[in-house]
Structure 1
Amino acid sequence: MTLTIYGCYRSRATRVIWLANELGLPFRHVPVIQAYRLADPQAPGVPLHTRSPDFLKVNPNGHIPSIDDDGFKLHESLAINLYLARKHGGPLAPKDAQEEGLAVMWALWAATECETHALSLQQHLAAFPPEKRKPEVVEAALATLAAPFAVLDRTLVEGKGHVMGGRFTVADINVAEVIRYARPATQLFDAHPNVKAWLEACQARPAFQAMWQARDAEAA
């Protein structure tokens, strides 16, 4: 059986690769870059990208990551991680129906409560040149994220440093990979020390470090 992960490291594919590393899953990695990164996606010889006909056969939505798990195709990074954890089991997987519900809840929470605003902070504080940054956007994102960060901070205290189950699980990976976008906003983490310590612990794991080293080696 062969697991294939489509996507570049500088994308949400990092979530899936991190989880695969944690589970010790062998996989084939097919680099697919975002079409918007190319001056002309239709030019001859361009690398495989999200609008390439060959990739659209895998994911007609034209987004990364996607997986092909021995013929079963699945999209959306958070859903992929929930599927892989459920399939392969072990301590990273939900242990019962209640934890299954919590894992789904936290994935949706991260996507709806945090991701847009965390990405906005990453872009305006780290990615954009100074002339393109908008202080009002940063202030709005900081104000919006204060409440969900407080919720996460309290949850980590109650959960002994983890999102659910008192142990490291797929829920930690899914939430951490969203929260990390906000890292340039150091004041947000300083105000929520349990979130800061938890993210640092997640990213100190060997499986994350292996993924991040590969990401650093990938062309920007």
Structure 2
Amino acid sequence: MSIKIYGDPGSGSLRRVTAAASAMGVDIERVNIDLFQGESHSPEFLELNPHGLSPVLVDGDFVLYESAAINLYLAEKAGSDLAGRSPRERFEILQWMFWSGEQWRVFATLTFDEVLAKRFIGKPADESIVQLAAAKLRAAAAVLDAHLAKHDYMVGDRLTLADFDIAGPFSQNERTKIPLNAFPNLVAWQQRLLDTLPGWAATKREVDARIDGALEAAGIQL
């Protein structure tokens, strides 16, 4: 029985899972959930994730949501060292994954909700929220930029799951204009991932096609 991953192809969170699965050589079965059509709030999907968010993993009778948890699960299943080669390295990876959720991706998601998602329902962005999120992102990006001045990857000298978690906000930054391009080491690291990880480059194309297509269909110009 294959591992099913439910999600919308425009989701940066789904991207983190599908790209990591590709890097780990894990076969998954994609099940598309159209967020723009409200499919994540159907009774059937809410049985999988009561928050109405994707992605969701279903492996037999086991259901798991939250991208970081899904990636750790896939790494365990595959015996992949992307989750760490030693206890110390594993904890460093977990540190950055937890940091990403608390200090980083949450503000990128908040910006997306204000700048883009509200446009689809005809509401203006709350500029006070946008500016607050931008300030938080700049502060966090400064930490990342300093770290990446000395490292090619988030942990050690190789790709790990921490890189996928930290890279998530780059999925929408050109559309939401979050202040990532002002940090050269961060930008160079992201380009390194695109150049060396076919799955990361492929999922960028998938996200871009999905979101840009939805914007065009809705008549929204950024």
TM-score, normalized by length of structure 2? 0.79
Q: Which residue of 2 is the match for residue 51 of structure 1?
A: 41
Tell me the alpha carbon deviations over residues 162-204 of structure 1, each in whole angstroms, 9 at most, x when there is no partner.
1002111111011101354444576833432101111122233
Q: Which residue of 2 is the match for residue 116 of structure 1?
A: 106
How far residue 144 of structure 1 moved from its aligned partner, in angstroms, is 2.0
Q: Which residue of 2 is the match for residue 155 of structure 1?
A: 147
Alignment gaps of 5+ in structure 2: 215-222
Amino acid in the other structure paired with 1:153: D
How far residue 94 of structure 1 moved from its aligned partner, in angstroms, is 0.9
CA distance in 2, matches of 1:82, 1:156: 23
Q: Which residue of 1 is the match for residue 168 of structure 2?
A: 177
Identical counterparts, % of pairs: 31
Amino acid in the other structure paired with 1:143: A
CA distance in 1, matches of 2:84, 2:96: 12
CA distance in 2, matches of 1:196, 1:139: 21
Tell me, what secondary structure is at the counterpart of 1:142?
helix
Corresponding residue pairs, total: 208
Tell me, what secondary structure is at the counterpart of 1:67?
strand
What is the root-mean-square deviation of aligned Cα atoms in Å?
2.8
TM-score, normalized by length of structure 1? 0.79
CA distance in 1, matches of 2:206, 2:81: 25
Tell whether 2:58 aligns with 1:68: yes
CA gap of 1:187–1:52, structure 2 versus 1, over 3 A, is: closer
Farther off after superposition, 57-66 or 23-32: 57-66
Q: Which residue of 2 is the match for residue 44 of structure 1?
A: none
Farther off after superposition, 52-61 or 80-89: 52-61
Tell me, what secondary structure is at the counterpart of 1:64?
coil
How far residue 136 of structure 1 moved from its aligned partner, in angstroms, is 4.0
If each structure's helix is expressed as a fraction of its own residues, which one has the higher value?
A: 2
Given that residues 91 and 168 in structure 1 are in contact (C-alpha distance below 8 angstroms), is that contact kept between their aligned partners in structure 2?
Answer: no
Tell me, what secondary structure is at the counterpart of 1:4?
strand
Q: Which residue of 1 is the match for residue 85 of structure 2?
A: 95
